[in-house]
Structures are given as structure tokens and as C-alpha cells.
Amino acid sequence: MLPAGVLTARRAVVAAARPRWAVSAGIRHRSGDDRKCTTAGCRLPEPKRRSYVGCGRRATDFPSVAGYCTARAGKKTVPFVLADIGEGISEVTVKEWYVNVGDVVSEFDDVCEVESDKATVTITSRYAGTVTKVHHETGATARVGSALVDIEVAEEGHPAEEPVAAAAGTESEPEVLADDADRVVAGSSGEPAGLDSSDAGVASKVLTTPAVRRIAAEKGIDLTTVRGTGKQGRVLKEDLLGFEDHLLSSSAPAPPAPAVSTPLTEDFVPLTGYAKTMRKTMEASNKIPTLVITDEVNLTRLIELKAQLAPHVKLTLLPFLMKATSLALARHPRINSTASPDFTAYRPNRSHNIGVAIDTPLGLAVPNVKDVQTLSVVGVAHRLAELRAKAANGKLAPSDVTGGTFTLSNMGTIAGSAFQPMILPPEVAIGALGRINYRPRYDDQERLVRTPVMGVSWAADHRILDGAAVARFYKDWKTYVENPSLVLADVQLDE
């Protein structure tokens, strides 16, 4: 058995990534410790000792002296990083913290709530332990792959404490061989001095998946230089992202001194959340060659049907209009398609995931009701109510606002008899529903009557759709809306 304080080759591999220890007059301490001995004759008080394995090595515990190990016996501190939450999201804003330093968390406990430019997401813990550090203030921006909090957890495979043989009533110094200890921890590469080639192979082996190895190869990252935060030190995808951000920030030139802000620039408010998404989407939409068709529909029968159903079920007009849209899309699948990246082809979508614009405290959101073609009017109404409640509370998930195939903008509920909508790529068409107004119109008997009418506009990507295709779709949609019993009966029109 080696003397106490001398690390074996395999323990040195683990120790390479942890704080270095120095040896002075037989007492081991961390370099830089305020309480370290500075002279050869320095001796610390000799409280009762017990042996434990901490920080990946055996040491002597002095309860009254701080700073002998970076973690407590059998404990280690791991960073809980922000994982990739999909949909191309690279950074989020921390909206609210559910934990503070010192709190004990279990796996899947809520840690914080973050807001991306697409949705609000609650982040849950992957670890069970004690929070030791919170890396971001509320309202700060956190990048995917960066640490959110540090959590002190139990070390896996922590061996039982080994008793130290000591004669009763006698004092003994910890047995440390300075030469051997220095030789073990020497070198900054993480490979202990004196190891043979077979032991060096242990140091270079990295636990990870083939996908992560491929990403590392594409980015030219040496996996042996990346600190893994997964189980047993496994390198995860977010570890690579965080490591790449670190390299970019360390290699980037120092930014120039900021210019003195004028009072005008200090008044600017940055766009965040849904507003940030709107800016990006509208910039892309503005590049689309758009054709627009505008007309009005007679809502007399639809309003009468709604009144007949009122004693039994409370419905607004929007679920009827969405179901009518789905029935018309079934007859004109090209309207419900997605263009190829080069706009030389299109893919009809089987699902009718119809988005609706919802005004929320966080800005304008466009969640979509999935598979409207499989739902009844009442089913559509229930899904809409769920989305509105989630939007009002800022709880929309990424899946709620992605995957749309067609959109209806109902800004007319606020104001505007008619307006030109902006297409939301990669969709190829959008409908705009204006305000309901009562206008004098002739009925079937050529009588001038007070009639509820609604202005509608249809915008389409002219690279994929021509005016005739959009007009035929609108003609069928108008038939369904002006004859709502066809919508309730889920009737397909004749050719």
C-alpha cells in the first residue's frame, strides 16, 4: 500500500481536472490557500483525524481547518447546463428562478423558467443535490450550453471510508512523500508523470456518443479538452456548445471602448420574446412575392346558427371559420403546403395545423391548433381555449407555436374592416379576418336589408401559388361560411 497522499496512476487521471495540491513540510494543502503553511517549521493544530476520500483522493480531514478540499467527503459540484431545447433556439432570457443558493433539489424539480423568441419553457433539474451557485440574474440572457446553476451532488461509486491506523495516545504526522506527490500531480496535460503508454491511453479515452464525436470532428474540437457533465464524465452535446462559446469568447479581440450613449439611445427598449420572433419572421416574409385577394362574406346564417346553439354550448365565430378553412384546404391541398428551400417544389401537408394570432401580455403569439381536420367545431373551440389560457399565462410550449401549415389572422376583433396579412414562412398562404360590420345588402329576393358582413383577405406566395388556385380555395371557403350547416355536418362539396 502506498503512503498516504500519493495518488495512484488511475486516481491521477481524475485529479488532473481538479484543483492542484501542494506539499509543504509534510502537510498537504491547496496552493493559494490563505491558511497554508509558509515555513518549513509551520505546524497546524492536531485535532482528531479521520480518513476519507474527497475530491477524488484520500486525505486527512481537519474539521477545524477550512480549505483542505474543494468538496465535502463523497460530494462533488457539477454545473447544470442549459440543454438544447430545439427549434434552432440558441439563447433564452431567464424569466424566473424557482431555486436559490442552499436549496435542496431532486431530479425533475423546477429550476427556472426561461423565455425564448418562440415560447416559454420551464427547466427541470437533472440532478439531486444542493444548489451552490446561480449563474444568471432574472432577466439575463443565457446561451444553450452555458451553466444555469451549480449543484453539489453525491459522487458515484464513492468508496467507504478507510480507517487510519494510529496508536492510541500518540501523535503522528500525515505520511506524505513530497517528491512522489509532486511527481504525480506534475504536468498540465492531465497525464501523470511516470505513467506508461497503457496508462496514458486511459487518460485519453472519452465517454460520449458517436453523434457528439461527429460534431466534435466537424468543429475541430479535441474531446479530451472538453469537461463532460454527463454520467461518469460523459461529454454531452451541450458541453461542446459551451466549450465552443468559451473558445470564441477567449479568442475574440477585445471590444472597443463603448461610445458615450446619447439620451436618445438610452431610451431604446430591446425586443424580446414574441416581439423578437415577429421581427425575424417579418423580415423573411417581406422577401416573399405576395398576391392578395380581398372580398367580403355574409355572416347572417352563421350568426343565426351561433344563437341557436348558445343555450347548449358557448361558441365564438372563430372555431366555425377555422373548421371551414380545414374543409376548404382538403379540397385544395396545395394551399396547405410547404415550399422546398429553393422554391422549385412544394410538399402538401396532411395535417391541417391552423395558427391563430393571439394578443398576449408578452406580445403577439401565433399558436396553432393541430389536426383541425380530425376535430369537430366544439373540439376546435376547446383547443383554442386551452391555447388562449396558456398564452395569457406565458406558458406556451415550443410545440404550440411550431409546426403550423396555415394561419388565420383575426385582428378584426380589435379593429380594421380589412387588411393585408403577412405570410409566415415556411407556410405559403394566410387569411385575414376583418371586423364584422352591418351594411345594407340585397338578399335573394332583391330586398335591401341590414346584413352582417366581414371583410377577408387572402395572401399567397406567388412562387408556389397562382391567383386562380387561391380564388378557387376562397370560393369554397365562402360557401362553407355562408352555409354553416355544411361545416357542422363535415360535408365535402361536389366537384
Q: What is the pLDDT of residues 132-160, one digit of tens each?
A: 999 998 888 888 888 999 999 987 654 43
Domain that holds residue 295: 273-489
Q: Are residues 471 and 331 part of one domain?
A: yes
According to DSSP, the β-strands at 354-356 and 406-409 are parallel
In a domain, 330, yes or no: yes
In a domain, 374, yes or no: yes
Q: Are residues 472 and 342 part of one domain?
A: yes
- Higher-pLDDT residue of 394 and 326 is 326
347-to-257, 328, 351, 353, 484 alpha-carbon distances in Å: 50, 18, 12, 14, 30
- How many domains does the structure of the chain reveal? 2
Q: Which pLDDT does position 177 carry in this prediction? A: 33
Q: Are residues 311 and 443 part of one domain?
A: yes
Q: Which pLDDT does position 73 carry in this prediction? A: 62
- How many Å apart are CA 191 and CA 202, to the nearest integer? 9
Q: Are residues 288 and 145 part of one domain?
A: no
In a domain, 396, yes or no: yes
Q: What's 347-363 look like in SS3? A: EECCCCCEEECEEECCE
In a domain, 384, yes or no: yes
Give me 172's grid cell.
503522528
Length of the chain as a residue count: 495
pLDDT over 90 at 474, yes or no: yes
- Per residue in 26-79, pLDDT (tens digit) is 334 443 444 444 444 444 444 444 433 334 443 334 333 333 344 566 788 899
In a domain, 321, yes or no: yes
pLDDT band for position 307 (cuts 50, 70, 90): very high
In a domain, 134, yes or no: yes
Active site residues: 462, 466
Q: Which residue, of 124, 152, 180, is where some domain finishes?
A: 152
- By the 8 A CB rule, do 328 and 476 touch? yes
Q: Are residues 148 and 293 part of one domain?
A: no
Q: Which residue, of 152, 172, 188, is where some domain finishes?
A: 152
Q: Which residue, of 135, 152, 169, is where some domain finishes?
A: 152
Q: For residue 128, what is the domain's CATH number?
A: 2.40.50.100
- How many Å apart are CA 138 and CA 116, to the nearest integer? 14
Q: For residue 371, what is the domain's CATH number?
A: 3.30.559.10
- How many Å apart are CA 29 and CA 274, to the nearest integer? 52
In a domain, 429, yes or no: yes
In a domain, 368, yes or no: yes
